[in-house]
Structure 1
């Protein structure tokens, strides 16, 4: 393939712009906010799970407390009815009186036991409520940190994308001045060679693979016509000659 030396030089300009676009893409993907947001999001997920568990515990305690209070109220009402019967004097049989008194005493003990249960459940519910409050505050704090990190990331995105857009436009203009067949070869090699399709020959060294040309390769380069598109024998990238090639 042949191309004017000036066109080959412009190919280096295209390469430089492509490298800049690669750098911007890497910078975009490597922003520290990404790791920060990921870490905070994991923390938030765990905290939300704990909050759900604490909320469930509080709800269970609330139902348990309601049931225990209802049991206490039921025993209290039954004891009150028995006491009314005892106080009314309607029961005259000594045996019936003894049984009624025994039931009242049993109900009193049962009421005391159930009230202890209510107190125990209330303590567990209060602890669960405190846990819900604590976790709610922690969730809000982490959400605020995520919002802040996201805002910083998006601001960085805006700056990077703006510069990438400018570089892309410039690349389009410069690439438009390069012969189509040369540009096609360059793009193919760039895809195969990790983003570098053309390299300058500088002081007898290919700047693509960083290897110095041997004497045979140098003689071949010296003998080639100025418009010949050369390829590095080592990395096969397009090798562009300049006044600093050391030939």
Structure 2
């Protein structure tokens, strides 16, 4: 392939920009804030799941407490009714009196048991409410921390995107100066060689693979016309001759 030496030199400018764009893309992908946000998102999701479980548990306790209190009221009402009958003296036979007294004692014992259940439920609820309060604080702190990290990430992303826009504009301008066939060849090689399609020859060494060229290779390059597009025998990238090539 033939190309004016000035166009070949321009490839190095284009390569420098493409390398810079690749670095910016890598930096964007590997921002430390990305990992921090992922960690906090996981933590927040975990806390929200625990909060949902606590809300469900508290709801279940509400139902349990309402039922226990209702049972207490029913037993208390029945015991009061039986006590009123006993106090009124309107009980028939001694056997009926004995049965009524026994039932009142049984109801009082049952009422005590149910009231203990209500107290136990209330204690469990108090414990869960304490857990919920602490969990809410943890969640608020995690969400606040995420907001700070997200703001920091947004600032970093904005800076990177601004640099990318600047470099992309420069790239478009330089690419317009390079012949289409040379640009297409460079692009193909760049895609095949980890983002580097052209490299300078400096002091007898390829700037792409950093290997020194043999005497025969340097002699071939030295004898080639200035407009001949040369390639490194090792990495196969375009090898651009410069004033520092050492040939």
Aligned residues: 247
Aligned to 1:118: 118
Structure 2 residue 87 is the aligned partner of structure 1 residue 58: no
Q: In the alignment, does 2:236 pair up with 1:236?
A: yes
Structure 1 unaligned residues grouped into runs of 5+:
none
Displacement after TM superposition at 1:183 (Å): 0.4
Instruction: Provide the residue aligned with 1:69 in structure 2.
Output: 69
> Distance between the aligned counterparts of 2:157 and 2:32, measured in 1?
12
Q: 1:16 maps to what in 2?
A: 16
- Confirm whether residue 43 of structure 1 aligns to residue 43 of structure 2: yes
Structure 1 residue 85, shift from structure 2 partner = 0.9
> 2:211 is matched with which residue?
211
Shift, 1:199, TM fit: 0.3
SS of alignment partner, residue 149 of structure 2: helix
Deviations 1:30-52 (A, max 9, x none): 11101111111111111111111
Partner in structure 2 of residue 201 of structure 1: 201
**Counterpart of 2:244 in 1: which secondary structure?**
coil
Unaligned 5+ residue runs, structure 2? none
Q: Where in structure 1 do 4 or more consecutive aligned residues deviate above 4 Å?
A: none
Residue deviations 1:38-75 (CA, integer Å, cap 9, x gap): 11111111111111111111111111111100000000
Q: CA deviation at 1:181?
A: 0.5
The superposition leaves residues 150-178 of structure 1 with CA deviations (integer Å, 9 ceiling, x where unpaired) of: 11101111111011001100010011101
Superposition pairs of residues 48-197 of structure 1, within 5 angstroms: 48-197=48-197
TM-score normalized with structure 2 length: 0.99
* Residue in structure 2 matched with residue 245 of structure 1 by the alignment: 245
Q: Secondary structure at the match of 2:236?
A: coil
State how far apart, in whole Å, the 1-side matches of 2:73 and 2:192 are: 82
Q: Deviations over 1:101-142 (max 9, x none)?
A: 000000000000000000001000111111111111111111
Aligned alpha-carbon RMSD (Å): 0.7
- Deviation track 1:225-245 (CA, whole Å, cap 9, x = no partner) reads 000000110000000000100
C-alpha displacement at 1:92, in angstroms? 3.2
Deviation, 1:24, is: 0.7
Supply the distance in 1 between the matched residues of 2:92 and 2:150 (Cα, whole angstroms).
Answer: 83
